[in-house]
């Protein structure tokens, strides 16, 4: 029996990176997974890989800034699998530039995808979970939301907001049997960080006590912990998956 045997989960931004790893780790632990992403072809590929490995997954296109599409993704999980036991709000983008040069559009799209997207996902999942009397919501924040990064006033603000959202939602939903927690990854090898200059990436690795960047699967395992019964008495918590960086 897997840690998520018989449960159903929605993972946003799951076509690559941490979202893809989370969807695959969940499936390996018995979950039926709705793989969502604005990139439907990418989501289809992840779902196909899960199914080929003996898991159960379906792909759904979802722009997390759209109320209708987020609601439809949650409904797809409920309609296909009968429950929505886990919601992982992971979708994200970057538009890194110093504040002086950042456009309002650069600021707003990052805030919308990360913070509005997590808020919509939390709200829509909670509608179903409250009827079930149970559920786990995991929101993906970032170490940047704790300490900030130059050139990321938009991203850091959104990721810090996700922590506040998670704690507030945890207080609202706890009496309904719904747990809400957050994960703050540090430097992780993903397509997003692959765009960093190699010298900057290497310099940041040297600041990590474990002396290396993390892998998406290592974040996914922390998400799994918060999604399953091993964390049954945790809500409103924030797990750092950083290799000890900036502790």
Structure tokens at 223: 């998400």
pLDDT band of 197, cuts 50, 70, 90: confident
pLDDT above 70 as % of the chain: 100
**What is the rounded CA–CA span in Å between residue 219 and residue 223?**
6
Asked whether 162 and 141 are in contact (CB, 8 A), the reply is: yes
Which residue in the list 29, 125, 155, 159 is annotated as catalytic? 155
Asked whether 33 and 23 are in contact (CB, 8 A), the reply is: yes
Looking at the structure, give the CATH architecture of the domain made up of residues 8-237: 3-Layer(aba) Sandwich (3.40)
Distances (CA, A) of 164 to 45, 61, 68, 113: 33, 27, 24, 16
**What is the rounded CA–CA span in Å between residue 163 and residue 247?**
17
Per-residue pLDDT at 1 exceeds 90: no
pTM for the full predicted model: 0.97
Catalytic annotation on 155?
Answer: yes
pLDDT in tens, 143-186: 999 999 999 999 999 999 999 999 999 999 999 999 999 999 99
């Amino acid at each position: 029996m897997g840690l998520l045997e018989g449960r159903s989960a929605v993972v946003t931004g799951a076509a690559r990176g941490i979202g893809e790893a989370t969807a695959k780790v969940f499936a390996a632990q018995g979950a039926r997974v709705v793989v969502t992403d604005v990139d439907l072809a990418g989501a289809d590929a992840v779902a196909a890989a899960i199914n080929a490995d003996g898991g159960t997954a379906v792909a759904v296109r979802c722009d997390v800034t759209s109320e209708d599409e987020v609601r439809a993704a949650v409904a797809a999980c409920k309609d296909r699998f009968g429950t929505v036991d886990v919601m992982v709000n992971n979708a994200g983008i970057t538009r890194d530039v110093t504040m002086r040069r950042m456009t309002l559009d650069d600021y707003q799209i990052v805030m919308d995808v990360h913070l509005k997207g997590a808020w919509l996902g939390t709200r829509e999942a909670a509608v179903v979970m409250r009827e079930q009397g149970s559920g786990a919501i995991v929101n993906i924040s970032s170490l940047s939301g704790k300490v900030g990064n130059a050139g990321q006033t938009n991203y850091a603000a959104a990721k810090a907001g996700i922590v506040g959202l998670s704690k507030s939602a945890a207080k609202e939903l706890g009496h309904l049997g719904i747990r809400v927690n957050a994960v703050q990854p540090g430097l992780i090898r993903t397509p997003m960080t692959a765009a960093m200059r190699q010298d900057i990436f290497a310099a940041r690795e040297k600041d990590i006590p474990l002396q290396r960047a993390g892998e998406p699967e290592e974040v996914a395992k922390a998400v799994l912990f918060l999604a399953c019964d091993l964390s049954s008495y945790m809500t409103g918590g924030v797990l750092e998956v950083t290799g000890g960086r900036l502790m």
